[in-house]
A = this chain, B = another copy of it.
Amino acid sequence: MNAPPASEGDRIFTPTNHVACMLRFEAALARAEARAGIIPNEAATAIAESCRVDLFDVAALERDALRAGTLAIPLVQQLVARVPPDARPYIHWGATSQDAIDTALVLQMREGIARLVDDLVAIGESLAALADAHRKTVMPGRTLLQQAVPITFGLKAARWLSSVARLVVTLRRLRHESLVLQFGGAAGTLAALGEHGSSVARFLAAELELELPDLPWHAERDRPASVVVALGVGAGVIAKIARDLVLLAQTEVAEVVEAFEPGKGTSSAMPQKRNPVEAVNAIASASLAIGVVPVMLSAMSQEHERGVGGWQVEWTAIPDAFRHTMRAARHLRSAVGSLDVRVDRMRANLHEASGALMAESVAAVLTAHVGRPEAMRLTSALVERALRERVTLQEAARGDAQVSRLLTPSELERAVDAASYLGASDEMIDGALRSWRDVRQAGTG
């Protein structure tokens, strides 16, 4: 029994599915040419009937492709052998290898983006639920990995959410803008089709439900490059969330951990371990996805009407970019789908380091009384004393004669209350949730 694919990307970007998509191109081309009246209908039907990937030996095609230079050459040869002699001359008529290969990759990318967006939408739904549920769950905000001022876990989730929302918008747009038909013949002029080139191109695009570009793009690769860089940005978005999860799961922080499942992230030797496996896998896959981006960009300077190396790089780079990004998304989806949010631990961590993350708040209150410079000086002294004497900031304040004179106990109480120092967090969460609803609705429209 074979293992199930780690994500849909591992199914879509296989050699077998690539050949299947090339065969879709060849079948659609034959039908388009029949419709244009330049090949017989019977030939088109016969060709289309043989364009079934299960009839082909994909491993043999790959081996032969290394010698031939492209997968299309042995594929067309095998296809010729499978159709009746009368139809043979009409196979691949007027097309070049790259027309079939690029269009097949476009079809794969179209499906890949759709499935990736599915996972991102699921992630977004989980994050939106967390943002709403935890809008009052106070925790330390951390800058440079130092506690800074309080935030809520809902705000953190809303910020993650907003980046996922933007990613979904970008990917949907690319699906329409960048995934267009490739069809130009030997050097992009469609010369072999005489005056029929444009109409065949139009019919072919319609058959495959792809946009028809002004020009072939055999050596102008900004479109596939734009898709891959968007995956790279997406991998970066995923990696950021996953890294936060890993940091929150540290033994000494322990605010959010991946939900326990038997056999998941455990260690045979160390039974206490609860490794954040999904987040770690997401980080690793995201790094691999990012690694593809410069390869793809460097490959863009393809020579003249077809490149010597750059185009060939894409055959590996594009599938790699999708597989890795889609795996990253799948792992993140698993992680955020069942988080164990430890609200008590978040609250407890606010008291680390004497609760000094309330210093900005205390200084703000004091400023109203003594002006900012003196308020800063006083607060610094309080923080220093609290850390030195291992008391809370509040206790240090109570122990300071000047501060005690300036602030009543209830004013002080409020000044060190994290829940009272959250600024515009709530509005921000609302904004993120509103934008997410728009993204959701655009997807179903």
Contacts and interface: CB of A to CB of B under 8 A. Distances in A.
Contacts of A287: 295, 298-299, 309-310, 313
Interface string A407-429: 00000000000000111110110
Select the residue from A146, A160, A236, A360 with max chain B CB neighbours within 10 A. Answer: A146
Complex copy number for this chain: 4
A185 to B, nearest CB: 7
A26 B379 CA distance: 25
Interface string A251-266: 1111000000101111
A392 interface: no
A54 to B, nearest CB: 17
A144 B283 contact: no
Interface string A49-73: 0000000010110111011110001
A78 interface: no
A42 interface: no
A353 to B, nearest CB: 5
The 3 A-B pairs with the shortest beta carbon distances in the complex, nearest first, are: A141-B187, A236-B300, A283-B309
A15 to B, nearest CB: 10
A95 B66 CA distance: 43
B233 A140 contact: no
Nearest to A61: B3
A305 interface: yes
A329 interface: no
Question: Contact size class for A?
Answer: 35 or more
Contact of A297 (B62, B197, B290): B290
B269 A363 contact: yes
A265 B274 CA distance: 34
A294 interface: yes
A272 B250 CA distance: 22
A270 interface: yes
A275 B69 contact: yes
Given A192-B364, A250-B146, A272-B383, A431 B215 contact: yes
A359 B435 CA distance: 47
A415 B148 CA distance: 39
Given A69-B280, A293-B294, A423 B191 contact: yes
A434 to B, nearest CB: 8
Select the residue from A143, A218, A250 with max chain B CB neighbours within 10 A. Answer: A143
A310 B352 CA distance: 26
A400 interface: no
A2 B189 CA distance: 38
Contacts of A372: 88-89
Interface stretch (A17-25, A28-36, A113-121, A240-248): A240-248
